[in-house]
Amino acid sequence: MANLKEIRTRISSVSSTKKITSAMKMVSAAKFKKAQNNLIKFRPFNEKISFFVEDLGSSNSLKNLSYFTFRKEIKNVAILLITSNNSMCGAFNSTIIKAAIQAHSSIQERNPYANITFYCLGKKGEDVLRRAKYRVEQINPTYIDKPKMESTNEIFDYFFKLYNQGKLDRVELVYNRFKNAASQIQINETLLPILKQSKSKDNKILNKPIVEPEPKILLEKLLPYYLKNKLHSAILESSAAEHGARMTAMHQATENATTLLNNLVLDYNKARQAAITNEILEIVSGANALKE
């Protein structure tokens, strides 16, 4: 058993760690609440515009729109990876980086001669992929700390310009979708071009939007907003998932520190009791020796 000084040192160290993790938990809880509220407010509009685009986009008359056109030869692919700028959030970053690398391998397998570039929104993803020698471009990391529509517009305009110029043939989006504070869903979806939705036989006629003069004109105006909202939704989802993951991780760390602290205090008391018992035995033995 360790001596009393070593145990006291460990108790002091664990107590300091517990205070730090507890403070980080409270900060993350406040940020998580704000990020969750932003996501909840944004979801209804995003779901509605997605419904219109998916319904109107299923028409065969829209196949000539550039947004829906898949290029036969894929030469340049961008993978937009959304991670966090900071650690201490459990497996949040490692799982999504692994999903991005799997997406890279899958695209490379189907298109052996394609140039694939990671565009990283978040420092953690950039650091890992650069060390792994992947082709990486950085997006301003401050955009993920405080998501704003203006920043999302800037990111989308950059990719859309490259796509229209033919410098990019495909844009993939990889991010964590918020499920709850303890878990996230890893999402890999295509941002550009838009995947056409097949018509569902179960849709009721009452749910069909009435479009005049024709769907193509509406979609030409609607699609840029749809894509920007899709990208902004991914950023908001990742932000809420990050703060939820960090809050959960810090909660678990605080609980672990509490358990360890209790065990150390118990060991300290046992060690002190053993030391006192030994001292009493030495005194009694000395007294007996004097009597003899």
Q: Which residues pair with 177 in a beta bridge?
A: 185
**Does some domain include residue 175?**
yes
Q: What is the pTM of this model?
A: 0.83
- Give me the domain span that covers residue 63: 43-248
Domain count, the chain: 1
Considering the domain boundaries, does residue 124 fall inside one?
yes
**CATH number of 92's domain:** 3.40.1380.10
Q: Is residue 255 part of a domain?
A: no
Query: Is residue 203, in this structure, part of any structural domain at all?
Result: yes
Residue 205: the pLDDT is: 44
In a domain, 81, yes or no: yes
Band of pLDDT at residue 180, cut at 50, 70 and 90: confident
Q: Residue 291: what pLDDT?
A: 72
20 inside domain: no
209: pLDDT strictly greater than 60:
yes
Residue 12 in any domain: the answer is no
Beta bridge partners of 173: 80, 189
Query: Is 243 inside a domain boundary?
Result: yes
For the ranges 57-66, 218-227, 272-281, the lowest mean pLDDT is seen at: 57-66
How many of the other CB atoms lie within 10 Å of CB of 177?
15
Q: For residue range 226-243, list pLDDT tens digits in order.
A: 888 899 999 999 999 999
